[in-house]
Structure formats: structure tokens, C-alpha cells
Amino acid sequence: MEKNIVVIEGDGIGPEVTRQSVKVLNAIAEQFGHTFHYSYHLMGADAIDKTGNPLPDETIEACLNSDAILFGAIGHPKYDNDPTAKVRPEQGLLKLRKSLQLFANIRPVTTYESLHHLSPLKTKNIEGVDFVIFRELTGGIYFGKKEVNEERTQASDDCVYTREEIERVTHLAFQYAQQRRKKLTLVDKANVLETSRLWRKVVQEIAAQYADVTVDFLFVDNAAMQIILNPKQFDVVLTENMFGDIISDEASVISGSLGLLPSASIGKGAALFEPIHGSYPQAAGKDIANPLGSILSAAMLLDHLGLAREAALVREAVEWTLSNSFVTKDIDPVNFYFTSTIGELICDYVSNRVPGGINKANIELRKSTII
């Protein structure tokens, strides 16, 4: 297989975690006889600094003509701390989603036995947790009309959804549920919001086409509580843009680290794959960030290209590093490994270069010094 992949490294730790994913993709290509062509493009604060534009036209053009997009992260404190900034890194991401019609964000939430102690939830509540959040990505309040009066004492954000926007992500979620445990949960606020009532109506109608999938409904406040109380009850969760943004971040901490979780944004064109964490500028350039969210995003990219066996091998390699305590600082703040070392270890596993017995003394280990 020969594919063209656009790489947007972005800001903060984005470049260093994305580099590990590219190394892993290259190891997969070598092992299975594929060819991946990469082109690198700007977005976010880095793009603003270099071009004045958070999403240059050439980046959009490259993405439109690619087979997939591997993305790092965007964001910088100088924009986060300035609410009056007219140009912001996040504008680039919203524009890219709209330009590529990336209408569905898919976030798997899984736990790892070796990391149960890091979860804020009790072990008995997270064993076997495995669900996926489908978030509508190009509609709702984030893309609605925004107004503020001249005195800046009153503001409004319109939340608008059309039947078509709801239908297309709903069909994807149902199809995904059919390949899993055949349960779908719609999260809305239909007791208060007209947009949520439309969501519920459309999902109820579409459910008749997927008779093998059990459907239930939760108001978003109850869903947020249930994710903490009993996350094992969920299989596929479907929701609108803002609710999905919030509950997917809530669910992400179940595994014990934000650095572990991947995501995919799919639609009518090339799909985009990114870890769910932010740009974490405080760690940028220190080689301490967790690359697993990015590497698992690369596994989702491989799945999207129809390379299921290759994707499974990457996930197996990630599981191997975690079970052998090859982890970054967010997981073990005392005995932790470099970002680049984790990437190399996963490449070694993919390339079948891992010996039967591991001598950890031969692997570069960074230890913290407490003064």
C-alpha cells in the first residue's frame, strides 16, 4: 500500500509526540511492505508566528489531497491568557474541521490493568472499561452566530443543528455499535433544549434501521455522573458538539493519564488523527511528554486505511510498554523514560527486535532527583 499522509506537528509537545508516531508508522511500513509519503504543514500558534494565519491555505490544500492527516496539538499561553486576541490557534482547527467536513470525532476510552492505580476511580469500577464517544464536530454552539453588545455587558452564542448534521454522525455511531456490543447511548438535554429534542427525535427514527442495537437516552448531567459511577455500562456514546467536548475530557481521566488517549475526526474527505491532550507548553522540548496518545492515534489512522493487522500490532506494542513499566513522567514521576525512548521501544516491538529477556539497565532511564 502507498499512501500520502499530511503531518501537522503544531505547538508545544505536538512536534515531539508526533515524531514518535511517524517513527512507528515507518516501522510498520518496513515490516509490512507499505510506503507512506509525508508532507509537513503549519497550523496553530506556530502558523500564526510564521504566517500570521492559524491555518494557511496551503495546509488546507495539502489536507484535501491527502489520504490521512496526523496532527499533534495546538495552543499557546499567550493566546489562552488573552481573551481579546483576534487571531487564535483554535481558529485554525475549527476552520480545518469545516474545510474537510470532519463531522464526527471518535474517542475510544479504555483502561490498562497495569495503570489501574493511577485512575481516580476505584479499580473495581474501571476493570474492563471499553467505550467510544461519537461527538458531532461541525455544528452546534461552537459554530453558531456569536454576538456581543457595544458595552460588552451582554453576549450570545447560537446553538443550531439541522437534521442532516444529526443523521450523518448518527448512522456512523450505529454502524460502529453493530461491530461492538450493540448498545448506543444518546446524551442530550432534551428536557430543556430544542436542539436536543431534535437530536432525540432523529436518533429514535434512525434506530428503527438498526434493530440489533439497543438504544438508551441520558441527559448530559446524568451522563456525566454515570461516567464516574459506572463507566462499564457504556458501549457507544453519541452526542452533540459541546456536550461531547466536555464528557470526552471527563472520560479521558478514567485511564489514569490524558496522554494515553487517541482520537479520530472523520467526514467526507481525508480523516484527521490526534491525541486528545493539549499542547502542554511547559513540557515542550524536554522529551518527557507521553507519546502513546499520538501513537494510538496512528493506530486509528492505520485502521482507517484498512490496515487492521498493522493497527493491532501497534496497540499490542503499547500494551507491552505499559505492562513492562516503560512509561513517561505523567505515569511514573520518579522512574520514567524519555518520549523518544518510548517511541524507539515501540518501533523495536513492531520490528520484532525485542529480546525474550529485557535488561532495563541497558535502556536509557531518567530518574528524578528530590532535593
**What was the pLDDT predicted at 358?**
66
Distance in angstroms between the alpha carbons of the first and the last residue of the chain: 53
370 has pLDDT over 70: no
Average pLDDT, the chain: 93
Q: What is the mean pLDDT of residues 208-215?
A: 98
Residue 60 · residue 94 · CB < 8 Å: no
Q: What is the mean pLDDT of residues 191-215?
A: 98
- Tell me if residue 221 is catalytic: yes
Largest distance between two CA atoms of the chain: 69
- Tell me if residue 161 is catalytic: no
- Tell me if residue 142 is catalytic: yes
Choosing from 38, 67, 130, 142, which is the catalytic residue?
142
84 has pLDDT over 90: no
Residue 254 CB coordination number (10 Å): 21
Q: In whole angstroms, what is the distance from residue 321 CA to residue 348 CA? A: 11
Residue 212 C-alpha cell reads as: 440489533
Choosing from 189, 235, 329, 349, which is the catalytic residue?
189
Choosing from 249, 303, 332, 348, which is the catalytic residue?
249
Question: HEC profile for 233-296?
Answer: HCCEEEECHHHHHHHHHHHHHHHCCHHHCEEEEECCCCEEEEECCCCCHHHCCCCCCCCHHHHH
Residue 269 · residue 100 · CB < 8 Å: yes
In the sheet that holds 130-136, the strands lie side by side as: 35-40, 2-10, 68-73, 271-275, 262-266, 104-110, 130-136, 236-239, 183-188, 214-219
Higher model confidence: residue 346 or residue 363?
346
Left if phi > 0, otherwise alpha if psi is -120 to 50, otherwise beta: which for 140? left
Choosing from 221, 268, 286, 360, which is the catalytic residue?
221
